[in-house]
């Protein structure tokens, strides 16, 4: 007696297995490409949000450093020197660069110290960010300010709110802190001027978000000295052009 078996069934099973081997990797690749595409489209939004928060955090740290300095704002007459010439007919006014240099050095050191403490995970140096969370462990390990933001808050989607995965954002200082002096002189009246000396603090930071990095500059202005400078009123004064000169006639005192 002979028995006949169906030889087509193994072929169908083999055919189905081949299809599964092809479909499953294709599905994984498609899902990965989908998430990569969505993440790439959202990267500019992440970056813009990260830059905004970085400016807020770094400005707060710099402000704390400036407020920690030992001296307050000087009166402008305390950092201005009048140097007469040999004939004493002309007086040269100049800034006391020694005092300004001392302020620059003190602020420079304070800002660097405060930023270093913030990057090391000292939460006292950092402002509260509401729903955002700092990660002191990663900050101490990677030497940079690390915080997490919910996806819905970063993308500004009201339906998501604070839901969704939390996106890590990190920024750290690049190079040294730069300080510069800026003066502003506004003349008014006759031989009067309002003078303001301002210190500019610039910090370069690198911002790291998923799939992207960017650079930004945080600038903070700090008044060093301000006030009025009053000069002597001359006997003859003219604004130039076609304006006639104003002549001061001395009055004789009655005998």
Residues in Cβ contact with 118 at an 8 Å cutoff, skipping those fewer than 6 apart? 57, 61, 125, 126, 145
Grade residue 113 by pLDDT with cuts at 50, 70 and 90: very high
Write out pLDDT tens, residues 32-88.
777 677 667 777 887 888 888 889 999 999 999 988 887 778 888 888 887 776 666
Grade residue 226 by pLDDT with cuts at 50, 70 and 90: confident
Q: What mean pLDDT is predicted for residues 171-177?
A: 87
pLDDT at 144 over 80: yes
pLDDT at 244 over 90: no
The percentage of the chain sitting over the pLDDT mark of 70, rounded to a whole number, equals: 73
Tokens read off for 19? 């299809």
Tokens read off for 172? 């750290």
Grade residue 110 by pLDDT with cuts at 50, 70 and 90: very high
Q: What mean pLDDT is predicted for residues 199-210?
A: 90
Q: Average pLDDT, whole number, for the chain? A: 78
**In b/e form, how buried is each residue of 6-41, taking b as 16+ CB within 10 angstroms?**
eeeeeeeeeeeeeeeeeeeeeeeeeeeeeeeeeeee
Lowest mean per-residue pLDDT among 78-82, 102-106, 128-132, 235-239: 235-239
Considering 74-78, 158-162, 188-192, the range whose residues carry the highest mean pLDDT is: 74-78
Grade residue 218 by pLDDT with cuts at 50, 70 and 90: very high
- Whole-model pTM? 0.70
pLDDT at 5 over 60: no
Grade residue 203 by pLDDT with cuts at 50, 70 and 90: very high
Residues in Cβ contact with 227 at an 8 Å cutoff, skipping those fewer than 6 apart? 75, 76, 77, 194, 195
pLDDT of residue 198: 92
Q: What whole-number distance in Å separates Cα of residue 167 and Cα of residue 163?
A: 11
């Amino acid at each position: 007696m002979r028995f006949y078996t169906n030889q087509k069934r193994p072929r169908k099973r083999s055919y189905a297995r081949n299809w599964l081997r092809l479909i499953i990797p294709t599905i994984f690749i498609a899902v990965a490409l989908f998430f990569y595409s969505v993440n790439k489209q959202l990267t500019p939004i992440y970056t813009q949000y990260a830059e905004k928060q970085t400016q807020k955090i770094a400005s707060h740290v710099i402000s704390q450093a400036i407020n920690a300095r030992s001296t307050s704002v000087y009166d402008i007459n305390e950092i201005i020197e009048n140097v007469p010439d040999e004939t004493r007919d002309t007086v040269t006014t100049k800034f006391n660069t020694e005092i300004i240099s001392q302020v620059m050095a003190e602020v420079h050191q304070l800002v660097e110290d405060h930023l270093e403490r913030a990057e090391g995970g000292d939460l006292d140096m950092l402002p509260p960010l509401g729903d955002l969370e700092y990660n002191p462990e990663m900050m101490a390990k990677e030497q940079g300010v690390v915080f997490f933001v919910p996806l819905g808050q970063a993308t500004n989607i009201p339906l998501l709110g604070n839901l969704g995965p939390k996106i890590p954002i990190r920024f750290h200082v690049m190079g040294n802190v730069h300080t510069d002096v800026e003066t502003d002189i506004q003349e008014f009246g006759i031989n009067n001027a309002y003078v303001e000396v301002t210190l500019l603090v610039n910090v370069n930071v690198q911002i790291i978000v998923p799939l992207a990095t960017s650079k930004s500059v945080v600038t903070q202005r700090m008044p060093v000295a301000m006030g009025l400078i009053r000069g002597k009123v001359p006997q003859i004064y003219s604004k130039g052009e076609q304006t006639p000169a104003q002549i001061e006639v001395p009055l004789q005192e009655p005998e």
